[in-house]
Amino acid sequence: MQATGIIVEYNPFHNGHLYHLHETRKLTGADVVVAVMSGNFLQRGEPALLPKEERTKMALAAGVDLVIELPYAFATQQADVFANGAISLLHALFVQDICFGSESGSIEEFHTLLEKKATHQHTLQQIIKAKMKEGISYPTALSFALEQLSTNGVDVSLPNNILGMHYIEAIRQQQSSIVPRTIQRHGSNYHDETFQHNIASATSVRKTLLTNDLSLSSIEQVIPTATANLLDSYISSHGIIHHWEHYFSSLKYALLTRTKEELASIYEAEEGLENRLLAHITEASSFTSFMEAIKTKRYTWTRLQRLCLHILTNTTKKQMAQAHQEKLVPYIRILGMNQQGQRYLSLMKKKIELPLLANTKAFSHPLLELDKKASAVYTSIHPEPIRSAMLKRELTLHPIRYNEIEKAFSH
C-alpha cells in the first residue's frame, strides 16, 4: 500500500483542507492517507474550536483514512519540536512520503534553502543574535536570517513555509526514508481575516464564526457539509465552541493564586516573563486585552499565548523535560479510521514497533499524563454532567470508525 502522511490541526476542517487532501492523493497516488492531528490544544497555544473527537470525524468524512494524535507536549510547541514529533509518528507508521501545503509550492526550493542553512550556520546564528539584541523575537530573527541566505523564492516569514522547512529537517535528523512533497496553497493567505474565495484561511473561518454569534450561515461557503453538520451538532448540544475567552477567568485565577516561584517553574516562563504577566493581569478584563497589554516585539502573541496555556494546564519545565526524554513520540494513539485505514494497520501492525493505543486506560507515560491534564482543562468550561462525560470519553474512547458507504460513525 502506498501510504502518505499529512500533518494537520483542522481547526476547523475547511475547503482549503479538502483541496490539500485531494491534491495530496493526486500527487502521490496514495492508497491510504494518514493524518497526524493535534489534540485539544494547538501549536499557537490556543484551544481547538471543537474537541479532537469531532475534528477526527471531520477528517474521516472528508476522506482521510487514518487519524492519529500528536500529543500536547509536541502539539503546543514551536515549529521544530512540533515537526519532530509529527514526523516521528509518520516514520513509525511506515508512510512513504508526506505532503504539506506551502506558499512556495516547490520542494526543490526547500532543499536548496536547507543546504544554505547548513552551510552558513555560523553566519545564521550571528544574524539571529544581532536581531534579538534589537528586541526582536526569535522566530522573527530566524526568518530575517534565513531571508538573508535565501534567494530562491521561499518566503520564510510565512508559517506554512517555516513548518515545511522543519518537516524536512526532522526527516533528515531522524534519518527517515520519508519523501517530502509540497502543494502550493490555493485561495486565501494564512493570515487573511476575510473571505476572498470559497477557500478561506482557518483564521478567517474562526473569526467569522465567532463574530457572527456562531452562525453557520456565515461560513457555509468555505466549509464542507460534513464540517457544517458536526459544528451544528456540537453547538446545539454544548452551546459553545472553545476559544481563549472561555478560559480567561481560570488563567487569571492561576496567575493571582500562585507564587512567583511557582510561575517561574512553568514551561516557557523564561527571562522573568512571569513578572510581566503579573504586572498586567489584575486590570485585564478579557484575554484579548491581556494579550494586547503584554505582547512586545520580542515576545510575540503566539509565544505568550503558549506560556499562558502552560500556566493554565500547570505544565512545569520538569514535567515537559520528562515527557521529552525520548525526543520522539513513544506511542501511537489512534483517534479514528475508515475501512482502508483499518486494512493498513492490519497489514503493518507486525512491523510497527511502537505501542498502538486504542484508549488510555491500560497505558502510562509522562506524555500521556500531560494529555490527560490538558483534556481536564479543555473540558472545564462545560457544566456537569457534560464535563464528566467528555473526560470519560477521553480516557476510555476507542477509535472512531467511519463507514464510507453509510456515512456513519461508530466506536
Is 19 annotated to bind a ligand? Reply is yes
- The amino acid present at 374, given as its one-letter code, is A
Beta carbons within 10 angstroms of residue 180's beta carbon:
22
Strands (DSSP E) found in 107-252: 179-184
100 is in an annotated binding site: no
310 neighbors 296 (Cβ within 8 angstroms): no
Count the Cβ atoms, other than its own, within 10 Å of residue 298.
15
Residue 163 annotated as binding site = no
Strand residue runs (E) in 84-232: 97-102, 179-184
Report d(CA 253, CA 270) in Å as an integer: 21
Place of cell 476547523: 12
222 marked as part of a ligand binding site: no
What CA–CA distance (Å, rounded) separates 46 from 303? 11
Does 16 count as an annotated binding residue? yes
Residue 13 known to bind ligand: yes
181: annotated binding-site residue? Answer: no
User: Please, are residues 145 and 120 in contact by the beta-carbon 8 Å criterion?
Assistant: no
H or E stretch covering 244: none
Is residue 14 a known part of a binding site? yes
Q: Is 8 annotated as a binding residue?
A: yes
Q: Are 200 and 15 in contact (CB under 8 A)?
A: yes
Find out whether 144 is annotated in a ligand binding site. Answer: no
Q: Locate 262 and state its grid cell.
A: 511557582
Beta bridge partners, 35, equal 6, 67
190 is in an annotated binding site: no
Among 391, 331, 390, 333, CA closest to 359: 333
- According to the annotation, is 101 in a ligand binding site? yes
- Tell me the residue type at 300: T
Q: How far is CA 14 from CA 20, 45, 184, 193, 223, in A?
A: 10, 21, 16, 14, 4
Q: Which residues of 212-251 are buried (b: 16+ CB within 10 A; e: fewer)?
A: eebeeebbeebbbebbbebbeebbeebeebbbbeebbeeb
**DSSP helix, strand, coil percent of the chain (3-state; round to 5):** 55, 10, 35
Give 161-189 as a DSSP string.
HHHHHHHHHHHHHTT--PEEEEEE--SS-
Annotated binding site for ATP: 7-20, 101, 160, 185
Annotated binding site: 7-20, 101, 160, 185
